[in-house]
């Protein structure tokens, strides 16, 4: 199967600090990775789309200077929440989509990262 | 504006019963319709997916029914088990590289 990992699974930080979340595709090459945010009992909200080697495309209303995305390789994307504030507390989930036959348009999700900003 | 409308918001079904979740869409360019299952504190897991060239797809106890003319698709969970208690999201996308548009989610509770 297609496995996506995220690290850390949960993080608590102080207001004003930056937090980096890693997303890795373990058994396939992900040409595209997505970052979502999910509030309790709500649906997934797409934040940005990143393709390997190019700049991320952010959804309307998402601050690109606050949520820095780097898709450095075909198996790794990172999301850095800069100068985090309590309102950034949320569940962040990445997904990966590969170019391998059979998974070209299927997104596989990571287990999520719970961010709490004090 | 949600491009995929999902109902019901929540569902309680007895063990052994059938859970039915419905989704509707307007964008006729959508050509890929996956369903995801999400447990509390976990990421969504792909359950089953369908394309418009078939009207039904079955995988184990899970079946997708697709009605292209009505622009609707549904998930049926047969012989529901307590372990099926989770939130289910339908989604849709267009083309091989389209973004997924998610429904609002349905919380399913299967009682023993």
Q: Residue A36, SS3? A: strand
Q: Hunting for tokens 């600090």 — which residue is that? A: A17
Dump pLDDT digits (tens) for B26-81.
Answer: 999 999 999 999 999 999 999 999 998 899 999 999 999 999 999 999 999 999 99
pLDDT in tens, chain A (118 residues): 689 999 999 999 999 999 999 999 998 888 899 999 999 999 999 999 998 888 899 999 999 999 999 988 889 999 999 999 999 999 999 999 876 555 456 889 999 999 999 9
| Residue A72 pLDDT | 84
End-to-end, the C-alpha distance of chain B in Å comes to 37
User: Measured between beta carbons, which residues in chain A are less than 8 angstroms from residue B36?
Assistant: 109
| Residue A38 pLDDT | 96
B2 band by pLDDT with thresholds 50, 70 and 90: confident
Q: Is A105 on the interface with B (CB under 8 A)?
A: yes
A32 vs B32: CB contact, 8 Å cut-off?
no
Instruction: Kindly state the tokens that stand for B85.
Output: 């208690």
Share of chain B above pLDDT 70, in %: 98
Nearest Cβ partner of A105 from B89, B96, B103?
A: B96
Q: Is B85 on the interface with A (CB under 8 A)?
A: no
Determine the Cα–Cα distance for residues A53 and A31; give it in Å rounded to an integer.
9
Residues 6+ apart with CB under 8 A from B20: B11, B74, B75, B76, B77
| Residue B17 pLDDT | 97
Q: What's the whole-number average pLDDT of chain B? A: 94
Q: How many CB atoms lie within 10 A of CB A16?
A: 10
Nearest Cβ partner of B43 from A32, A93, A106?
A: A93
| Residue A99 pLDDT | 62
A112 vs B93: CB contact, 8 Å cut-off?
no
Largest CA distance in chain A: 44
A40, A43, A58, A109: best to mutate for the B interface, most B CBs within 10 A: A43
Of A100, A57, A101, A50, nearest to A76 by C-alpha is A50
Of B69, B75, B1, nearest to B33 by C-alpha is B75
- Residue B73 near residue B84 (C-beta atoms within 8 A): no
Determine the Cα–Cα distance for residues B22 and A117; give it in Å rounded to an integer.
36
When pLDDT is averaged across residues B7-30 and rounded to a whole number, the result is: 96
Which helix or strand (DSSP H or E) is residue A72 part of? Answer: strand A67-73
Q: How many CB atoms lie within 10 A of CB A11?
A: 17
Q: Residue A87, SS3? A: helix
DSSP state of B93: B
Dump pLDDT digits (tens) for A33-61.
Answer: 999 999 999 999 999 999 888 889 999 99
Query: Helices H, strands E: what count in chain A?
Result: 0, 11
Q: How many CB atoms lie within 10 A of CB B17?
A: 14
Of B29, B32, B13, nearest to B106 by C-alpha is B13
Q: How far is B78 from chain A (nearest CA, A)?
A: 24
Share of chain A above pLDDT 70, in %: 93
| Residue A100 pLDDT | 57
> What is the torsion angle, in degrees rounded to the nearest 10, for the CA atoms of residue A76, residue B43, residue A116 and residue A8?
-40
């Amino acid at each position: 199967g297609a496995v996506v990992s995220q690290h850390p699974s949960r993080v608590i930080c102080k207001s004003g600090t930056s937090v980096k979340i890693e997303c890795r595709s373990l058994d396939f090459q992900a040409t595209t990775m997505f970052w979502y945010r999910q509030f309790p009992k709500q649906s997934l909200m797409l934040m940005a789309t990143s393709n390997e080697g190019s700049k991320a495309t952010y959804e309307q209303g998402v601050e690109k200077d606050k949520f820095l995305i780097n898709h450095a390789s075909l198996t790794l994307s990172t999301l850095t929440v800069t100068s985090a504030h309590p309102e950034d507390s949320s569940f962040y989930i990445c997904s990966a989509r590969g170019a391998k036959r059979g998974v070209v348009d299927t997104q596989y999700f990571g287990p999520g990262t719970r961010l709490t900003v004090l | 504006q949600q491009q995929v409308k999902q109902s019901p918001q929540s569902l309680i079904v007895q063990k052994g019963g059938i859970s039915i979740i419905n989704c509707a869409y307007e964008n006729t360019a959508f050509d890929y319709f996956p369903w995801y299952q999400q447990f509390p504190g976990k990421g969504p897991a792909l359950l089953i997916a369908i394309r418009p060239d078939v009207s039904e797809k079955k995988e184990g106890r899970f079946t997708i029914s697709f009605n292209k003319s009505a622009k609707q698709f549904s998930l049926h969970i047969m012989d529901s088990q307590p372990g099926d208690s989770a939130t289910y999201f339908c989604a849709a996308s267009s083309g091989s590289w389209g973004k997924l548009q998610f429904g609002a989610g349905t919380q399913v509770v299967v009682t023993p």
